[in-house]
Amino acid sequence: MKRKLVVAGCLAGCSAVAQADSNVTLYGDIDQYIGYIHSSSGNSVTGLNDGAILRSRLGLRGVEDLGSGYQTKFTLEQGLNANTGAAADSSRLFDRQAWIGMNTPVGEFRIGRQNTIIFFIGGAIDYTERTTYGSVINTFGVPSRYDNDISYKSPRIAGFQADAHYALTETAGESVGTRGVYQLGLDYTNGPYRAGYAGLWAKPAANATYSQMVVYHNVYADYDYGHGKLYFAYVRSNNVTASANGNTAAAILNNVSIPNNAFPGTNTSVQRMYNIYQVSADYRINPQLRIGALYGVIRDSSGGDAGAQGGNVGAYYDLSKRTTLYGFGNYMKNDANAGFRFSGSAGPTANLAGADINGKSLIGLQAGILHRF
């Protein structure tokens, strides 16, 4: 009850500020869809889910112009389960972002809970922005945001822009830089072409049984041919392991939060590397209607037969600049020892697990509405 009052008071106060100062903006979106998932085991599930494309959220962002090319910036953003009205993470007031920064002539500096570089380049990965059931890169799992994060983003020069993050462990007895979550990115744009790299590294605890780092390397290239885009993406990572939901259904390094931004290094699966390949294309039929398709493969390079393959076809129909209807048909086939399952921008509350996904083929249908404000 106290938490609800705090949220209500905060939003009411900030709304008043937004009206008084145009540099503070209240924003968000609501994304709801009907999801149907059928397994080759014979079981299926249907549910109302949040976030096929964008997680429902409520946020505040602000900018103060200090003059001479300097600005103070901040963002506070909370995820929502719009189908229930609950917070996406009940342990946090602003689970998605909570940072303050300075934009300067030499680049932008931020500190706080921030989205990763990998998350930020989602629009360059496939026509769904790497969020629907059919995207195998999304199915594998995307490191999305971490606490205690210090970042720098350069200005774009000759088409290139660099990005770097370091999330501190805040562990007693460890000097800064000993452990933590490190990120580097480089993005290039030139007319219809875009290409780049986004990477992440994380060291385990000092006394870890397995000292191998968790890594996530993402390379992408796009071409805008006028009526749509072609997308090519490659990921190499060892950030997947076993859980009660399936043979390969949870990350070793949590993708959104973990104590001290570290992992214990006790799971042998950190030694297993995956290569992920995905291609995608879309086509705009008219100003309102866009269609697309994608196909991807997850390969278990250890030879453990724990990969998968899949894809989708889909369409977006813009009712206005803020409201979009969408629909997707998705398919995925797990290898004999794999247990991947569908995910969206948010994990579906109505999903299959265990024997219904391990080594099974899945069909998924999504139909919903997205409104941004």
Q: How far from the centroid of its chain's Cα atoms is residue 150's Cα?
A: 19
Are the beta carbons of 269 and 297 closer than 8 angstroms?
Answer: no
* 325 or 260, which is more confident: 325
Judged on CB neighbours under 10 Å (0-12, 13-18, 19+), 367 is middle
With a cut of 60, say whether residue 5 has pLDDT above it. Answer: no
For all residues of the chain together, what is the average pLDDT?
Answer: 92
Q: For 140-184, write each residue's pLDDT tens digit.
A: 999 999 999 999 999 999 999 999 999 998 777 676 767 889 999
DSSP state of 346: S
What is the C-alpha separation between 267 and 253, in angstroms, rounded?
Answer: 11
With a cut of 50, say whether residue 6 has pLDDT above it. Answer: no
In sequence order, the β-bridge partners of residue 309 are 297, 333
Q: What pLDDT sits at residue 258? A: 74
Q: What pLDDT sits at residue 266? A: 87
**Average pLDDT rounded to a whole number, residues 82-96:** 95
Dihedrals phi, psi of 219, to nearest 5 degrees: -115, 140
May I ask the CATH architecture of the domain 41-372? Beta Barrel (2.40)
**Average pLDDT rounded to a whole number, residues 71-76:** 98
With a cut of 70, say whether residue 3 has pLDDT above it. Answer: no
Q: For 278-307, write each residue's pLDDT tens digit.
A: 999 999 999 999 999 999 999 999 999 999
Which of 41-50, 246-255, 286-295, 345-354 shows the lowest per-residue confidence on average (mean pLDDT)? 246-255
Percent of the chain at pLDDT > 90 equals: 82
**Which pTM does this prediction carry?**
0.91
Q: Dig out the tokens for 63 from the structure.
A: 């900018």
Which of 33-42, 84-93, 250-259 shows the lowest per-residue confidence on average (mean pLDDT)? 250-259
Q: What pLDDT sits at residue 262? A: 73
Q: What pLDDT sits at residue 244? A: 63
Q: For 330-373, write each residue's pLDDT tens digit.
A: 999 999 999 999 999 999 999 999 999 999 999 999 999 999 99
DSSP state of 13: H
